[in-house]
Structure 1
Amino acid sequence: MKRLAALSLLPLLAACAPTLAQTALETRQVTAPYNPILADGVDYTTDPAPLVVGDKLYILTGRDVAEPGVNDFIMPEWQMLETSDPKSGQWTHYPYFLKPNDVFKWATPGRAYGAQIVQGPDKRFYLYAPVMQQGSANKDGFAIGVAVSDSPTGPWVDAHPSGPVISQSYPVANDIQNIDPTILIDDDQRVYLYWGTFGRLKGVELEKDMVTFKGKPVDVNTLTGFFEAPWIFKRKGTYYMAYAGNKAGPDSECTEAVYYACIAYGSAKSPLGPWTYRGVMLDPVSSTTSHSGIAHYKGEWYIAYHTADGKNGGHFRRAVALDKFTWDDTVSPPAIEKVVQTKAPPPAPTPTRNLAPAARIVASNSPVPVQYWIRALNDGKVREAPLPPDTWGTWSPNNPKQQWVVYQWEQPLKFNGSRLYFWGDQPAGSGIGVAPPNGLASGILVGCR
């Protein structure tokens, strides 16, 4: 596959720019006094990637358009947020920033997953984007393309128009899903790229053309619980890698349930490792996925991440938030202190007859297997199409003959009924998949703690 040298991009960019520049990007002004930044349920944002250019902070995001109850990532395009002062809450929103097939002619529409823009050594801007390769014969069609522009807002030109710069068959074969690229331009102007998901993380140095591998990729397997969404950055000579981790269990510092993720991080003395796990910087958020980006802006450190906290939000209708974080420089290497999530003050509680949220729950399959939340039994939420962590199930490796749940309150209570909702995606009593029982034993156990 023929590569396009960096110098040859200049006439191509010059030739394409006048045509592309004629189409101005649509913008709207947003006031966001609290997280998430876009909270009105009109535009859902995801997979944030911050970029600092001069006195401006940009956040590249995806767009979720899944309808309520649809458990799939329906992501047709990228959006952009821009501000000169995050504390002001004033943002410029580019709702229709870029679609994958608008810049990568070899890409299919949709699947605009987490991408990142960096400013290269030549001062131009490079977009690293995972997209689906049209007509791919690979087992997994995701591939990474690179586009270039003179401005962080475009217009963009494919920097390697003959095809992706990474796929399962190019430039060297791999067997991972090629998404979630993250890029570091080091102090010496050398370029490093990491990418990966589902517990697989690869890294490689790039040539100065920003697309060609320089040496063989390395595999990273020392970051505890790595799942996806790597983000590489540097501070005071130390390299850091933030990532979505999902080492799950009742005693995990990351997450109880395997479907949720924390943002963990590791450090290294060189950009290609070896990497050492250091801890958790962001606890699990309200969406099952967690995807972060880190930026140093006007003397402060920021983390952008997504949640399900927008109006009518959900695991596939996410909204980007931005918070500051601090460092503990009394240890070596310096440690990231736990991020305090901020959001709008909660509304006044709605009167309810539901007594379950005040109860402590014990179940026959405690400790509850990592694919379930026991809190689903009293969180007051009934979802149309729940994911496994939004439900509780009786299964355990050693099921007792009778399964039970006990609700315990601080003092005796009087109530006149109870109601259970079952996720019935199989016929009752079938024993296949997740099926409700044929019948329920009557009786309610009420105790005092």
Structure 2
Amino acid sequence: MAPLVAVALALSFIVRSSVVASPHLRRQTTTIISTGNPILADGFIYSADPAPIVIDETVYILSGRDGAGATENGFIMNEWKSFEAQNPDLSGGTAYAGQVVQGADGKFYMYAPVTQANSGASDPFAIGVAVSSDILGPFTDARSSGPIISQGVPSPGNTIQNIDPTVLVDTDGRVFIYFGTFGQLLGYELESDMITIKGAVTKVNSLTGYFEAPWLMKLVSTYYMLYAAKNAGGSSPCTPTSHHACIAYGTASGPLGPRTFRGIVLDIVSSTTSHPGVYQLGNEWFITYHTRDAVGGTHFRRSIAFDKLTWDDTTSPPSILTVVQTHRPASANEPTRNIALCATPSSTNATPIQYWIKAINDERVEANPLPPDYWCSYAAEQSPETTVEVNGATMAFFADQPTGSNIGVPPPASWKLEYLMSAGSWTAVSVTSSGAYPTNVTDSPEEVSFQTVSTTSLRAILMISGWGGQFGGVGIKEWAALAPTTSSYKDLKAFAKVFYF
């Protein structure tokens, strides 16, 4: 007998952009008017890893351009873009994260991760520097002899992936660079020429959950390090799955540490990655980051957003308050039968840390999902407030193995629906659809129709596929619980917490 898996459902920003095709910038200007987050929301271009800088009361944001296709799960970033904005208003290949800073000589230095040609290193990513007399370029190589940091430079080198540089020109003229990903964060001081390593490497291991995307800044005499954190798990303050990242921070009294973890700056966003950049304009502070909220956005087609960053000056040092994400006005929701949209999902089965139970009622059915885009039982093979009426359901399955497989995530062998009676017992629904419970994998599943029932809870029982005493997992991209008639989204909100998974 195959094991059962039970799940139940509780029911006016003006931007000019310039394309940087390489460290030798070619300027190509477009004027865009934006009304909210993300800044560019129509899918015209996608941009990620924002690095802001303020010059003469004008904000410039360097970003990488996401070029992945709609169903590609991989970073395709072949150029950088620069966004320019005056008085931004919050009312309304391998071009990975880089940063532009202004040196003491008045020139602008762009620190960028590049794929080093003819590299014998196990990972060819290196950090190069380009320089320009203009914030928008053109930029030329600042060091003819190659990158300033790689797995071989400076000697004896390192074994990490050298990306995500962040650079601070301190008030005393000293210059510092930090970089690294996959839990590794290294730092150096630079000479005043902005391109020569000075002193020994600093290894940072005191920032809880550090994953990547460091951002170094200074407030008065305190050095703040913001970063993407991925300490997922039940005790995590912000990352529900191992694929999500939030923004956390630590502080130090000196530019090279030691650092103390302080807390969370920005909760998870719609994209699995998150990348901070902070700037001050007048007396106000802002944080830039990216999301997948633009039209056609995916985890690899991201778009820049920004929000206010505020401080608690009653603490020492001043602490950063958790940022409140803002979004552009959403279009009105169409009437729908799907009451699952306002439910609170949960699972009676343990959910492996890479999957997310909230994915099953977010109205997203991904053609090529990442693990947080669906709920799954795969782990290396192996209370109501009111009543509602339902008479149908659809379930979109995820599978990476064929029907009947005993490894990976195949379609379920079978499944059925039950509803909770007022007496507290679960009873099978009376199916009226001819196809009963389809198990085929499709992003447009057939509706399972049944006689209308009034209930506080609806659950699905899935029979796992497998044989020989070994069974695969089962994955669900989306589950819709359908009422007999359509209702407005506003009316559906009255059903919140009605059903549970």
TM-score, with structure 1 as normaliser: 0.85
- Residue 51 (structure 1) aligned with residue 53 (structure 2): yes
Using the TM superposition, give the Cα deviation of residue 398 of structure 1 relative to its aligned residue in structure 2, in angstroms: 11
Code of the aligned partner of 2:365? V
Using the TM superposition, give the Cα deviation of residue 258 of structure 1 relative to its aligned residue in structure 2, in angstroms: 1.3
- Residue 257 (structure 1) aligned with residue 241 (structure 2): yes
Kept after mapping to 2: 8 A contact 1:358/1:409: no
State the match for 1:299 in structure 2: 283
- What is the correspondence of 1:279-298 to structure 2 with a 5 Å cutoff? 279-298=263-282
Of residues 387, 391, 399 in structure 1, which corresponds to 2:374? Answer: 391
State the match for 1:442 in structure 2: 416
Of residues 41, 44, 62 in structure 1, which corresponds to 2:43? Answer: 41
Measure the CA separation in 2 of the matches of 1:277 and 1:162.
Answer: 37
Using the TM superposition, give the Cα deviation of residue 208 of structure 1 relative to its aligned residue in structure 2, in angstroms: 1.4
State the match for 1:427 in structure 2: 402
- Residue 146 (structure 1) aligned with residue 129 (structure 2): yes
Using the TM superposition, give the Cα deviation of residue 56 of structure 1 relative to its aligned residue in structure 2, in angstroms: 1.1
Q: More deviation in 295-304 or 425-434?
A: 425-434
The DSSP-based 3-state class of the residue aligned with 1:443 is: strand
Code of the aligned partner of 1:42? F
Code of the aligned partner of 1:143? A
- What is the correspondence of 1:408-419 to structure 2 with a 5 Å cutoff? 410-419=385-394
- Residue 87 (structure 1) aligned with residue 61 (structure 2): no
Code of the aligned partner of 1:429? G
Say how many residue pairs are matched.
400
The DSSP-based 3-state class of the residue aligned with 1:339 is: coil
Using the TM superposition, give the Cα deviation of residue 181 of structure 1 relative to its aligned residue in structure 2, in angstroms: 0.1
Code of the aligned partner of 2:401? Q
Kept after mapping to 2: 8 A contact 1:292/1:303: yes
Q: Percent identity?
A: 51
State the match for 2:448 in structure 1: none
Using the TM superposition, give the Cα deviation of residue 150 of structure 1 relative to its aligned residue in structure 2, in angstroms: 0.6
Tell me: higher relative CO, structure 1 or 2? Use CA pairs within 8 A at least 6 residues apart.
2
Code of the aligned partner of 1:39? A
Measure the CA separation in 2 of the matches of 1:436 and 1:160.
Answer: 55
Unaligned runs of 5+ in 1: 1-19, 91-109, 400-407
State the match for 2:318 in structure 1: 334
Using the TM superposition, give the Cα deviation of residue 342 of structure 1 relative to its aligned residue in structure 2, in angstroms: 1.2
Using the TM superposition, give the Cα deviation of residue 89 of structure 1 relative to its aligned residue in structure 2, in angstroms: 8.6
Of residues 163, 166, 174 in structure 1, which corresponds to 2:149? Answer: 166
- Relative to 1, partners in 2 of residues 1:269 and 1:116: Cα closer, same or farther, differing over 3 Å? same
Of residues 128, 137, 142 in structure 1, which corresponds to 2:120? Answer: 137
Measure the CA separation in 2 of the matches of 1:325 and 1:338.
Answer: 8
Using the TM superposition, give the Cα deviation of residue 76 of structure 1 relative to its aligned residue in structure 2, in angstroms: 1.0
Measure the CA separation in 2 of the matches of 1:30 and 1:441.
Answer: 50
Measure the CA separation in 2 of the matches of 1:306 and 1:24.
Answer: 24
Q: Residues 307-335 of structure 1, C-alpha deviation per residue, up to 9 Å, x if partnerless?
A: 11111111111110111111101011100
Kept after mapping to 2: 8 A contact 1:372/1:393: yes
- What is the correspondence of 1:23-422 to structure 2 with a 5 Å cutoff? 25-87=27-89, 110-172=93-155, 173-366=157-350, 368-396=351-379, 410-422=385-397
Kept after mapping to 1: 8 A contact 2:90/2:307: no
Q: Residues 329-387 of structure 1, C-alpha deviation per residue, up to 9 Å, x if partnerless?
A: 10111000111111112221121222222333332324x33211111222221111110
Measure the CA separation in 2 of the matches of 1:24 and 1:176.
Answer: 31
Q: More deviation in 353-362 or 119-128?
A: 353-362
Q: Give the 4+ runs in structure 1 shifted more than 6 A.
A: none
Kept after mapping to 1: 8 A contact 2:179/2:187: yes
Measure the CA separation in 1 of the matches of 2:30 and 2:339.
Answer: 44
RMSD: 2.1
Code of the aligned partner of 1:178? N
- Relative to 1, partners in 2 of residues 1:274 and 1:378: Cα closer, same or farther, differing over 3 Å? same
Larger radius of gyration: 2
Using the TM superposition, give the Cα deviation of residue 409 of structure 1 relative to its aligned residue in structure 2, in angstroms: 5.5
Q: Residues 193-240 of structure 1, C-alpha deviation per residue, up to 9 Å, x if partnerless?
A: 000000000011011121111111111000000000000000011000
State the match for 1:101 in structure 2: none
- Relative to 1, partners in 2 of residues 1:305 and 1:362: Cα closer, same or farther, differing over 3 Å? closer
Using the TM superposition, give the Cα deviation of residue 165 of structure 1 relative to its aligned residue in structure 2, in angstroms: 1.0
Kept after mapping to 1: 8 A contact 2:352/2:377: no
Of Structure 1 and Structure 2, which has the larger fraction of its residues in strand? 2
Code of the aligned partner of 1:118? V
Kept after mapping to 2: 8 A contact 1:181/1:230: yes
Code of the aligned partner of 1:74? I
- Relative to 1, partners in 2 of residues 1:223 and 1:137: Cα closer, same or farther, differing over 3 Å? same
Q: Residues 361-419 of structure 1, C-alpha deviation per residue, up to 9 Å, x if partnerless?
A: 332324x33211111222221111110111111135896xxxxxxxx754333333322
- Relative to 1, partners in 2 of residues 1:167 and 1:288: Cα closer, same or farther, differing over 3 Å? same
Using the TM superposition, give the Cα deviation of residue 304 of structure 1 relative to its aligned residue in structure 2, in angstroms: 0.7
Measure the CA separation in 1 of the matches of 2:304 and 2:110.
Answer: 19
Unaligned runs of 5+ in 2: 1-21, 421-454, 457-497
Kept after mapping to 2: 8 A contact 1:167/1:174: yes
Measure the CA separation in 1 of the matches of 2:237 and 2:360.
Answer: 23
Kept after mapping to 2: 8 A contact 1:267/1:278: yes
